[in-house]
Amino acid sequence: MFDLYIGNKNYSSWSLRPWLLMKHFAVPFTEHMVSVAGRDYNPALKPLAGNARVPCLHEDGFQVWESIAIAEFIAERYPAMWPADARARARARSISAEMHAGFAHLRTAMPMNLKLKLQGRPATPEVQRDIDRVSEIWSEARRDFATADGPWLFGSFSVADAMFAPIVCRFDIYNVSLLPVAAAYRDALLAHPALREWSAAALLESEAHAHYDRLVEEYGGLR
């Protein structure tokens, strides 16, 4: 039995990834939520995770942290979490790692807050490059590897879809314009029952961070 430690659903984009993956594949786990107030190192989380951050997966006291490492650990027991074809699997791992390590400009400009639905604004060149790269990744995966099995990046749902779920949410929050293939993928993931469950729970949370108030004005108000 797994125990998954996650942050607030409204803010913790990293926590969404393993939670969504485990929900989709019906992996049994017990959920434990902790506050992610503040963005700095939090020593209070050290007993829960070696890196003092969430998400962190526990199995009989053994800890696995970092969302991509959690996904790999679980996928060893649920191999359907990665595409069966070797090249598709390699590409899925490549884009998952790129998502885990990159897109800093986009993340900074568009922090996670599922309670906001903003009008949007023109992106800076740096942020637009990140947006264009995400759109390119999605379009290429759908073109080269997706099958008729489903709407996901590699046909069937995989770790790669879970890794990109927070970006999908950000594109929705900040009203980012996307080309048709990328927009269709965004809409499919937003409609995923588990992601809808996560979002509904996020809207019920009471914890709020004042620094998000400025985003409403910066992005043209709520839509």
pLDDT of the chain, 223 residues: tens digit per residue: 899 999 999 999 999 999 999 999 999 999 999 987 655 677 888 888 899 899 999 999 999 999 999 999 999 999 999 999 999 999 999 999 999 999 999 999 999 999 999 999 999 999 999 999 999 999 999 999 997 678 999 999 999 999 999 999 999 999 999 999 999 999 999 999 999 999 999 999 998 877 776 788 889 888 8
Provide the pLDDT for residue 38. Answer: 54
Comparing CA positions, the residue from 136, 133, 132, 157 lying closest to residue 146 is 157
Tell me the whole-structure pTM to 2 decimals: 0.95
Q: Which domains does the chain possess?
A: 2-79 (3.40.30.10), 82-203 (1.20.1050.10)
